[in-house]
Amino acid sequence: MVKRQCIATAVGIMLTAGTSVAGPEQVTVQEAVSRGLSQNNLSRAVAFQAEAARSGARAAALHYLPSLTFEESWTRSNLPVNTFMMKLNQGRFTMADMSSLGNPAPINDFRTALTLEQPLLAPGAWAGSAVARHGAERQEAVAEVVRQQVAFQVFQHYLEVHKAKAQLTAADKALDEARESARQAGVRTAAGLGLKSDELRAATHLAAMEQQKISAANNLTLARMQLALATGGQPGEELDAGEPLQLNMPKDRDSLVSSAQQDRCDLRAAELGKEQADAAVLQARSGFLPTIGGFASWQMNDSSSPFGHEHDAWAVGVTLRWNIFDGFRTWHGDGQARANRAAAGEQVQQTRKEVSYQVHEAWLRRQEAEKRYQVAIAALQSAEETVRLLSKRFDNALASMVELLDAQSALNQARANLVESEANLSLATGRLYHSAGTFLKEVL
């Protein structure tokens, strides 16, 4: 029995170990961005908002279709005028009712009515339809802006995972070197060739490197969790980054500026806002114009039951309505619409300027990141050579432990700077395409 329990325990440990080794799911940057666009809650929310705007525009465009309403009502009254009209509508009024016309008895009236209304001329509705249409197009452009922001955010988190992996690798190297330095210090102290203070200093450095590795491992876990969350995952889930995306540096800045002026969705949204403001001016001015509509109705009246048919009648007609004076409300509404149109025009011009500036800024930052990356490579090479030389000098008792540990600390910092510079270079390249409005084209 004890043997079986031991075997079962061993199998359980092996299965648990196998599960832990598997690690989180690994995806490419294209897969991560696609998941973010389809599963991120913010991306889904703006898609629903765009659909709502399109539905509103379709509803506004149907204003010229007829409306048909059905009504069933019940009334009980002893008001002379009401009883007179109800009996007339029911076809029951007789000369005998004239004697009690001033003080009639209460009566019931069940009214069944079917009414048709047909707008014939409604300038405000036509202009409102244009406002709604441009508003829906603008909302779609805003939704695309958010989608691109979500995609770029996923790209940033993808790079953070790669950076965290590289930092963990650097921490492993630093820990191995710190262990070797601690070993050398112990050997020298045991042989009577070193100082106890050097051994203690090496042990302190080793402890610092162990703490650095713990933080690096934790940062990798958090980066994976952020990537999973940005792609629509649940809190606590992890998603690992696969191969890094290689984005080539464009050679022509002017072409990027031109692309931004054509492809940036926020600029397109501003332009559609201007078109919507133009339509709003027409809508405000339509208040000065008349409206014409036709109507037709048929009704049944009964004194005793709903949907009864003691008598029926019909009516047709045309109505013209013209707002001659409304206390200058329409006039001031037109002024408000014209001011909003002017503001929308200014917004478009400012957005164009900002778009061009953002491309120029992203271009310069990308060049800066590339130069920093080259400097970081050279600094790492120098730090590695310094540690190599000081290690030999330390072995030959020509250098102190303090000098060696300082050089190793500088090497660790150089490694961290290289990882940071490489990630910043990829991020700066992606931001350059994002500012040009072509990020999704480059990634997907």
Q: What are the tens digits of pLDDT across the range 295-319?
A: 999 999 999 899 988 899 999 999 9
For 235, 341, 411, the CA distances from 427, given in Å and listed in that order, are 25, 38, 24
SS3 call for 311: strand
Write the burial class of residue 402 (CB in 10 Å: 0-12 exposed, 13-18 middle, 19+ buried).
exposed
pTM: 0.82
Q: Is residue 173 part of a domain?
A: yes
Mean pLDDT of the region 340-349:
95
Residue at 10 is within a domain:
no
Residue 9 lies in a domain: no
Q: Please, which pLDDT band fits residue 215 given cuts at 50, 70 and 90?
A: very high
Confidence of residue 9 (pLDDT cuts 50, 70, 90): very low
Q: Are 294 and 120 in contact (CB under 8 A)?
A: yes
Question: Given this model, what pLDDT does residue 376 score?
Answer: 94
In a domain, 15, yes or no: no
Query: Residue 365: which CATH number?
Result: 1.20.1600.10
Residue 377 lies in a domain: yes
The pLDDT value recorded for residue 346 is 96
pLDDT tens per residue, range 66-120: 999 999 999 999 898 888 888 888 888 877 777 777 788 899 999 999 999 999 9
**pLDDT score of 8:** 42
| Residue 385 vs residues 168, 178, 331, 379, 411: alpha-carbon distances, Å | 22, 17, 80, 10, 9
Q: What is the pLDDT of residue 22?
A: 64
| Model confidence band, residue 10 (pLDDT cutoffs 50, 70, 90) | very low
Domain that holds residue 257: 33-443
13 found inside a domain: no
Amino acid at 392: K
Amino acid making up residue 174:
A
Classify residue 85: in a domain, yes or no.
yes
Q: Is residue 257 part of a domain?
A: yes
How many structural domains does the chain have?
1
Measure the CA–CA gap between 307 and 107, rounded to whole angstroms: 17
